[in-house]
Amino acid sequence: MLLLGAVLAGALYLREHDVFADRSIETERQADGTRLKFKTAGENLAIFQEGKWQPFFAQGVNLGATVPGHYPGELPIERADYMRWFEQIREMGANVIRVYTRHQPVFYDALVNYNRKHADDPLYFIQGIWSPEEQLIEKQDAYDPEIEATFRQEIENDVRAVYGDLEMPAAPGQASGDYKANAGPYLLGWSIGTEWDPVMVANTNKRHPDKASYVGPFFATTAKASPFEAWLAEMTDFAAKTEQPYGWRHPMSFTNWVTTDVLSHPKEPLFTEDMVSVDATHLKPVQWNAGYFASYHVYPYYPDFFRLDDPGGRTDPYASYLNKLKAYHQDMPIMVTEYGVPSSVGVSHVAPLGRSQGGRNETEQGKVDAELTQIIHDAGYAGAVLFMWQDEWFKKTWNTMPMELPEDRRAYWLNVLTNEKQFGLLGMYGGLEDKLVIDGEDGDWRKLKEPQKAELFSDVPGIESIEAAHDEAYVYLSIRLDHPFDPAKEKLELGADTLPGGNRHGDELPGKTLDEGLETLITIGEDEETGVKIAANYDMEKRLYGYVYGMIDMTAKELKDDSGLFNDWHLPVSLKMEPPDTKTAHPYEHADVGKLRRGTDNPASAAYDSFAMWQYKDGFVEVRIPWMLLGLADPSSLQAVSYEMPEEAFSTERIEGIRFVPWIVDEETNRVIGLEAGAGSEDTTSPEPAEPTGLVESAESPGVGPTESSEAYPVTQIPKYTWEGWDAVHYMERLKPSYNAMKEVYEAIGQRPKTGG
């Protein structure tokens, strides 16, 4: 009765909506009246065009559902954004967009509108259907009635949305509205579900041994299926049932990833990464002539076996893995629907051949992304869909999550240490990205007017002035000397004081004492020594992974306030692993993320480097510092990581601003120039700023004067650089060099699969 009702409903829909009104869409009509534009053919996808079926390689990008300052559930993307992006994606040579959840009605309407204007070269799309991921992890049972009902409803809603047959009331975190545009003719296929939690899969199989079989009108299991695979067959069949009445059939798939793949990985140290398989070959289409394909997310850095299988580097581990996975899926198409690397300063997983998760600039990102695309194509896959089109500020990464607080404000600033935020080919940058260019020229600083910039305290012989500015990603500093800067002869030091505590003395302050401590220290000198260090008792890596977890040493001296020690700024990339918790033992590993690279971030320059953080020319020096390197947990609400020892995450403390304490060190004599107790300064208060620009807050005394101890330099009397918090984000978007790299590889592949093309 359910199927009959759906057929009747579909017949009514076909009468009321001319689903074939767009006659530019060439399709093959089947004996039962349904239409096919795409189908599977052996190990390939095929497209019907020029009156025949032709091999088709899906080359494209994943498209996210948000922009900076918003979370995916807010779905803020407007028609103009989609139309601009569609044109850029098409110009790049992509032929498919993958969305991993339902977007707002404007997406489907804009895509139909765009494709009608480009009927000779339309953009197709893969519709992902989001499974109830949090419920699955919480209940650990896919057959839970509430989970099944929720997922079925999501499948139905998404199918109806694609065909312009849904009115969805507003609900928190969900796409809603009146879906009227029929995007079905431009659909390449369906992708059911999300990356499966292996413990949930194993638990579902254990709980329901009697449910290892499913036979539906369109999809069924083979004799080798597990209970979870039978559940997937049932959900896939339900999607087919829901689409059938609309007069179309499209290839079906479900999302999978390396963690639940079908291969064995003896070198993988974590049990959960190789504990259970979800096998696409255990499902089969029944009277679904559009076909069925396997879909995998395969990144080159995760899980760890990618770097442990061949430590000698004799083979390409990514290519080797893809070849094995392809060989297993004989006689059916397989696509990699997520892959790629980010263009972030921060790193969270290390991989061979320069394919780590982070630590690669935008040019290097493009080289790796294009290389991976070519490998996927050459391995005989049916498609490669890169992750992803645009940067996503709301994303989180395991090794910065403990310091990125409050959690619900991540979307309001760009933490370049969080690699998940910067996978895009379309960069999303802070509001000053196109106004302050790191190139050693001061013209852009001169054009920047108060209150967008503020003058800082700079009563140091040799320093004429220091100015500061900030945006959603960086604090910018410009330093004007009264002589040409020579890093071989001198280095500039800028201590940063955000909280009570920290280092009041140290090797970097020879013979000097401060009346208030420094949390971080910015050194500008020779290329190899330029960077940001962190006071030992403020060191977030040492406090969490040393003091709390005991994976690394944190000495008694480092625990003390004013230890005089400044540590390198590290992020963990692999935690300590030991049996019986893991199969094999592996040491704790980290990456140095505090180095500041000299160069230019001018995209018009042939020397463009998105990691360029400082440059100098004659007596002018400019630098930008990522917020987190200064200890900020959320600059948009002026929250700094506190000195409290963490549990699983750190606590935060609201600050008024940052004091920057400058001095110069003579490289030959190690003599400190500046930091003289009793040094004076003028009142450098700036006008009240407009959001989110900066100012300098005057101290209680208009200048820096002597304290009770004539030997201690009075940091406490230096005015703070302050700023207003912000809720409205100012950002700019720009295509990265990785866009051009992908354009070249797409042109070389030419939408043709390696086999049968």
pLDDT in tens, 465-498: 999 999 999 999 999 999 999 999 999 999 999 9
185, amino acid identity = P
d(CA 723, CA 697): 9
The pTM is what?
A: 0.94
Mean pLDDT of 141-170: 98
pLDDT above 90 (res 238): yes
Q: Which residues contact residue 29 at a Cβ distance below 8 angstroms, ignoring those fewer than 6 apart?
A: 35
Average pLDDT over residues 9-27: 57
Q: How confident is the model at residue 38 (pLDDT cuts 50, 70, 90)?
A: very high
β-bridge partners, 495: 521, 661
Question: Quick one: pLDDT band at residue 19, thresholds 50, 70, 90?
Answer: very low
What whole-number distance in Å separates Cα of residue 57 and Cα of residue 752? 5
Q: How confident is the model at residue 685 (pLDDT cuts 50, 70, 90)?
A: very low
Can you tell me the distance from the alpha carbon of 484 to that of 616, in angstroms, rounded to the nearest whole number? 9
pLDDT at 420 over 60: yes
pLDDT at 324 over 70: yes
Q: Which residue has the higher pLDDT, 281 or 450?
A: 281
Residue 343 is encoded by which pair of tokens? 């263009």
Q: Strand locations in 102-144, DSSP E?
A: 124-129
94 Cβ contact partners less than 8 Å away, ≥ 6 residues apart: 59, 60, 61, 123, 742, 746
State the CB neighbour count (10 A cutoff) for residue 449: 8
Q: Give the lowest-confidence range in 5-14, 267-276, 669-678.
A: 5-14
CB 199 within 8 A of CB 272: yes
Q: What is the pLDDT of residue 456?
A: 97
Looking at residue 312, its pLDDT comes to: 72
Q: Across-strand partners of 729?
A: none
Neighbours of 93 (CB within 10 A): 18
Evaluate whether 92 touches 66 at the Cβ level (below 8 Å). Answer: no
Contacts of 294 (CB under 8 A, 6+ apart): 253, 256, 280, 281, 329, 332, 333, 334, 335
User: Residue 16: pLDDT above 60?
Assistant: no
> For residues 465 and 233, what is the distance between their CA atoms, to the nearest angstrom?
68
Residue 388: CB partners within 8 Å, gap ≥ 6? 61, 62, 63, 64, 338, 340, 423, 424, 425
> Which of 382, 320, 418 shows the shortest CA–CA distance to 46?
382
Task: State the residue for tokens 């255990």.
Answer: 282
Measure the CA–CA gap between 613 and 625, rounded to whole angstroms.
Answer: 7
Side-chain-side CA neighbours of residue 160 (13 Å): 19
**Residue 313 confidence class, pLDDT cut points 50, 70, 90:** confident
| 664: three-class secondary structure by DSSP | strand
How far is 70 from 104, CA to CA, in rounded Å? 14
pLDDT tens readout for residues 629-661: 999 999 999 999 999 999 989 999 999 999 999
Selection from 56, 54, 55, 74 nearest residue 64 by Cα: 74
What is the rounded distance in angstroms from the CA atom of residue 455 to the CA atom of residue 353? 45
Question: 431: pLDDT confidence band, cut at 50, 70 and 90?
Answer: very high
pLDDT score, position 695: 52
Residue 370's pLDDT band (boundaries 50, 70, 90)?
Answer: very high
Is the predicted pLDDT of residue 99 greater than 60, yes or no?
Answer: yes
CATH number of 51-429+732-750: 3.20.20.80
- 730 alpha-carbon distance from chain centroid: 19
Quote the Cα angle for 454-457-463, to 5°.
105
Domains of the chain, by residue range, sit at 51-429+732-750, 445-536+594-642+653-676
What percent of the chain is predicted at pLDDT more than 70? 92
Residue type, 243: E
Confidence of residue 757 (pLDDT cuts 50, 70, 90): low
Alpha-carbon distance of 756 to 42, in angstroms, equals 9
Given a contact cutoff of 8 angstroms between Cβ atoms, the answer to whether 80 and 110 are in contact is: no
- The model's pLDDT over 565-598, given as tens digits with 9 standing for 90+, comes to 999 999 999 999 999 999 999 999 999 999 999 9
Question: Position 225: which residue type?
Answer: A
Q: Cα(465)–Cα(479) distance, rounded to whole angstroms?
A: 6
Can you tell me whether residue 443 is helix, strand or coil?
helix
Strand 474-481 and strand 463-470: the pairing is antiparallel
Output the pLDDT for position 457.
Answer: 95
Identify the pLDDT of residue 705. 34
3-class state of residue 680 by DSSP: coil
* Residue whose tokens read 């065009």: 49
**Paired strand residues for 572:** 590
Q: Which of 154, 150, 337, 143 is nearest to 232 (CA)?
A: 143
Strands 490-497 and 659-666 turn out to be antiparallel
Radius of gyration of the chain (CA): 29
Inter-residue contact 357 to 317 (CB < 8 Å): no
User: What is the three-class DSSP state of 447?
Assistant: helix
Phi/psi zone of residue 93: left (φ > 0), alpha (ψ -120 to 50 degrees), beta?
left
Which spans in 189-304 are helix H? 198-207, 227-243
Phi, psi for 103 (deg, rounded to 5): -95, 175
Distance CA 2, CA 149 (A): 15
Could you tell me whether strands 712-713 and 513-514 are parallel, antiparallel, or unpaired per DSSP bridges? parallel
Name the residue with tokens 């239409």: 35
Each residue of 285-312: pLDDT tens digit?
999 999 999 999 999 999 999 999 887 7
pLDDT mean across residues, the chain: 93
Which residue in 476, 456, 475 sits closest to 466, CA to CA? 456
**Placement of tokens 């391995």 in the chain:** 379
- Provide the b/e sequence for 19-53 (b: ≥16 CB within 10 Å): beebeebebeeeeeebbbbbbbbebbbbbbeeeee
Kindly give the pairing relationship between strand 612-617 and strand 347-349.
Answer: unpaired
309 burial class (0-12, 13-18, 19+ CB within 10 angstroms)?
A: middle
Cα–Cα–Cα angle for 157, 85, 340, rounded to 5 degrees: 85
Residue 564's pLDDT band (boundaries 50, 70, 90)? very high
Terminal-residue alpha carbon distance, the chain? 43
Asked if residue 173 has pLDDT above 90, the reply is no
* pLDDT digits 0-9 by tens, 693-733: 455 554 433 333 333 345 899 999 999 999 999 999 999 99
Residues 6+ apart with CB under 8 A from 240: 216, 217, 218, 219, 249, 252, 288
Model pLDDT, residue 20: 43
Q: 677: pLDDT confidence band, cut at 50, 70 and 90?
A: confident
In angstroms, what CA-CA distances link 234 with 62, 155, 212, 215, 244? Answer: 26, 12, 11, 8, 15
